[in-house]
Amino acid sequence: MPKTLLKLDMLRAVRTNATKLILLFVSVILGTLIVVGQQEEPTTKKQMPVANRIENAIKAREPKFKLANKFLSNNQDQKYVSLGWKSGEDVVSTTTYEFASPQKAEEMLRKTLNAPMSVPVQITKLTQLGDEAYMSTGLYAKEGETNLFLRKGNYFIVMIASSQDLAKRFAKHMATEIDN
């Protein structure tokens, strides 16, 4: 057999083996990915951080509002997320604090409600919203501007909204997500 034919046969054999090896390699990788994908448990809503659940709920239930800002603090001293929403002239700004216990959240609510104010405010207790909730309106605040304080379990939410109805609506969405 001439040398040229021998070289051509060897090249064909190498090319055929290389193709088979590549196909085998791709099959092994795809098979591994399929098996691993089947073993993962689906992410449930409860496994998702509360901040993400709240953000997703507001996006779904209040489509006119766009997220204007977001800040997440996950340090050990204070765990909180601040979200700001805007739709035209309407705004809602929230800070959701997560505490180690419902007692700590309740303590923060009490401190907030009892803090000295530089201007007179009217505080109203709200029912059927979280474990406890209060709304305050200042005499010198921009017309309609409202503060809302909500405690649900070990979460404490401070909200400023451009109207009372808006504050209550957003607070209900947020309280629902803390439940889920």
Q: How would residue 49 be classed by pLDDT, with cut points 50, 70 and 90?
A: confident
Residue 109 to residue 103: CA distance in whole angstroms: 10
β partners of residue 135: 124, 148
pLDDT digits (tens, 9 = 90+) for 96-114: 999 999 999 999 999 999 8
Cα 23 from Cα 17, distance rounded (Å)? 10
Least confident residue range of 11-15, 53-57, 113-117: 11-15
Closest CA to 174 of 52, 79, 88, 64: 52
Read off the pLDDT of residues 28-37 as tens digits, 9 standing for 90 and up.
565 555 655 5
Rounded (10°) angle between helices 164-179 and 50-61: 130
Residue 171 near residue 129, CB atoms below 8 Å: yes
Among candidate residues 92, 111, 115, the one with its CA nearest the CA of residue 151: 111
Question: Looking at the predicted structure, is the pLDDT value of residue 25 above 60?
Answer: no
Q: What is the pTM of this model?
A: 0.72
Going by the DSSP 8-state scheme, the letter that residue 11 receives in this structure is H
Strand pairing category for 146-152 and 155-161: antiparallel
Helix (H, G, I), strand (E, B) or coil at 2: coil
Q: Which residue has the tokens 């809602």?
A: 92
Please give the pLDDT value at position 109: 95
